[in-house]
Structures are given as C-alpha cells and as structure tokens.
Amino acid sequence: MGFGTWAWGNQLLWGYQESMDSELQECFNLALRNGINLFDTADSYGTGNLNGQSERLLGRFIREFEGPIKSPDDVVIATKFAAYPWRLTSGQFVGACKSSLERLQLDRLGIGQLHWSTANYAPLQERALWDGLVEMYDKGLVRAVGVSNYGPKQLVKIHSYLASKGVPLSSAQVQFSLLSMGDEQMELKTVCDSLGIRLIAYSPLGLGMLTGKYEASSLPKGPRSVLFRQILPGLESLLSCLRRIAEKKGKTMSQVAINWCICKGAIPIPGVKTVRHVEENLGALGWRLSPAEISELESAAMAAPKKMIQNVFQTA
C-alpha cells in the first residue's frame, strides 16, 4: 500500500489550508515508521498559486524526517506529469520532470508517470510524451516509469514502444475500487499481470463513499457532494455488506474496501489528510478477506445502480 497526496494543496475539492501542514507531516512520519514508503503525487496537485504544493511538502517532509532513511531512494515518490497541450516535445516533458525534482529537492524520482494519455484528442503529442519518459529514464532522473488513466489497448501500445527503447513499464495507475471494477478495469488488470506491470489503485474508497461516514442527509462539502448525491442512495446494499464483513472481522469499512484492492493484486493508494486516516488505513494490512467475502462484496457492488464516474482522460 502507498498513500496519495491529491489533497495536499487542493483547496477546491479537499479544503486544504497551510495550517494543515504540521498534521500532514505527522501523517508522512507515521506512514514511514510503519513501513509505508510509496507516496503518489503530481506536478498538477495544488490549486491556484499552490500548484505543486504536494511535491514541495513531500520534499520538505523527507528532508526533515527523523528516522532511519539511509538515502532519499528509501522513499518512493511517484510523480505524475500532466500532458498539458504546451508540452509538445520530449524535452519539454523532461523539463517537467526536472521541475518536479526541484520542488521535491531530490536528484531522482522513484516513478515518473505520464498523468494521462492524449491519444483521444492529440495523438501526435502522445509519441513525444512517450519519448520524454524514455529520456528521463535514460538520464537517470527516474528509477522507473509508469502511466496513469490508460486503458488496456493503449497500455499494450506504450508497453511495446517503451520495450523497443529498452525501458520497462513498471506501473499503471487507474481508478480501481468496489465502485470502479467494470470490465475495462478487470481487463486492464489482466493485461498488467501478463506484462509484469503493477496496478496502482487510486480512489480505492470511492472518494470516501465506501467509508460509511456519509449519508444522503450528511454529504461532504464542496464539489464531491454533487457526485455523492447521485451515487450514494444506490449503495445501501454494498455499504451494508461492507459493514457486516467489517464487524465480523473487527475492522472498519474503509479497511475492508482497501483490503479488497490488495486481494485483487493492486497497490491501493488511499489519500490521507489526518493522522486518524493513516492509522485507519494501516489497519487494512496484515490480513486478507476470504474468497467468499470477496465474492459477496463484488456481487453487492455489481448490483449497485450507479458506479463511479470514470476520469475524463481515461483511454481505451
């Protein structure tokens, strides 16, 4: 398991304030001390003048961590580089990687990831971005390369292209949870397994819908409330199933939902904003759901009338 840092700097969706930084640092320290060393971020994380704030905070937290870090490589920072329309050349994409390294104050990233594919709307740009991944890998700016929001067909293409350049594709990040386990996600998982690519599951708690903390009468603040209002009323059966299994296991609903991802062979990266989040998410490790429990959860999930809306940048 790793932790996601989308909320670190995002005022619009997650209500970030700089006064939260001390607790975010506690989150980071607690995670590392408990063996979690994968942190997912992006050069686009952070709203307005806080753009890149997630990377800046991670860099600071690594430097200030008082614990057994022998080298910065002991912390795996997985950064996603946005496929902005002005990033038209491989050199510009490598420049984005160097800017991330500056914000993080690191010499090398754990995983450099293409945040989304441009195949659906700017196919000529796509090849330049792929070449950028090759170049940053060859220059030693990243230890590994990955992609995000790629569908199975496009994943096979980039895997083949990178392999022709002698660059292994290490990871593929996709929205994957009990609310996002359709045919395409399962096909992607099969492709990943066949090609030796690790699947990283973002939003494993469905933006919080699978935590059991929200009802139609108590929705989260901000834009998430619109999505929750559409989907949450149809989740009674799934949430009831999660609650029942959680009680039987002596776990929380969040821990059961994250453990489902782990049992499916994915690496979940739930977002964390508070120490309580970290402590709860750590409870998803060290045990496994039974095959019968997995089947029960998936049956309840498939019966839900509405699923999570897929990322607009997701490709086939």
Whether 312 has a pLDDT exceeding 70, the answer reads no
- Report DSSP letters for 161-201, one per residue: HHHHTT--EEEEEEE-BTTB--HHHHHHHHHHHHHTPEEEE
What residues contact residue 250 under an 8 Å CB cut-off, 6+ apart? Answer: none
Task: State residue 316's pLDDT score.
Answer: 75
Which residues on adjacent β-strands are paired with residue 171?
146, 198
Give the least confident one: 49-63, 65-79, 161-175: 65-79
Whether 61 has a pLDDT exceeding 70, the answer reads yes
**Buried/exposed 87-125: b ≥16 CB within 10 Å, e otherwise:** beebeebbebbeebbebbebebbbbbbbbbbbbeeeeeb
Task: State residue 161's pLDDT score.
Answer: 98
The SS3 call for residue 59 is helix
The whole-angstrom separation of Cα 273 and Cα 21 is 9
Q: Which residues are catalytic?
A: 45
pLDDT digits (tens, 9 = 90+) for 183-228: 889 999 999 999 999 999 999 999 999 999 988 778 888 778 888 8
For the whole prediction, is pTM greater than 0.85? yes
Q: Which two tokens stand for residue 217?
A: 């009468």
Task: State residue 284's pLDDT score.
Answer: 98
Nearest to 17 by CA among 57, 44, 60, 61: 57
The whole-angstrom separation of Cα 235 and Cα 117 is 31
